[in-house]
């Protein structure tokens, strides 16, 4: 299973980059805003914004 997953990651580097960058950005967001009293709906909205932004970043870096 691991070799299949690694093969998928190597075949799709942009999807992999997007996924890893998204996870990192959302984790950083949640760590930074952990005890600030932000509503759950707002945290979810900011998490979605982080995922979209990560996708845009990968797209822009991928331009040649």
Span 13-48, pLDDT tens digits: 888 899 999 999 999 999 999 889 999 999 999 999
What single DSSP character describes residue 36? S
pTM of the shown model: 0.82
Measure the CA–CA gap between 11 and 9, rounded to whole angstroms: 5
User: Which pLDDT score is estimated for 5?
Assistant: 58
The parent domain of residue 38 ranges over: 2-61
Token pair 């979605």: residue? 48
User: Which pLDDT score is estimated for 13?
Assistant: 82
- Total domain count, the chain: 1
Spell out a b/e string for 28-48, using b for 16 or more CB atoms within 10 Å of the CB, else e.
ebeeeeeeeeeeeeebeebbe
User: Which pLDDT score is estimated for 59?
Assistant: 93
User: How far does the chain reach from its first CA to its final CA, in angstroms?
Assistant: 33
């Amino acid at each position: 299973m691991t070799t299949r997953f690694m093969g998928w990651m190597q075949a799709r580097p942009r999807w992999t980059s997007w996924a890893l960058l998204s996870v990192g950005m959302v984790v950083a967001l949640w760590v930074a805003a952990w005890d600030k009293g932000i509503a759950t709906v707002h945290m979810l909205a900011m998490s979605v914004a982080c995922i979209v932004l990560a996708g845009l970043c990968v797209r822009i870096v991928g331009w040649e």
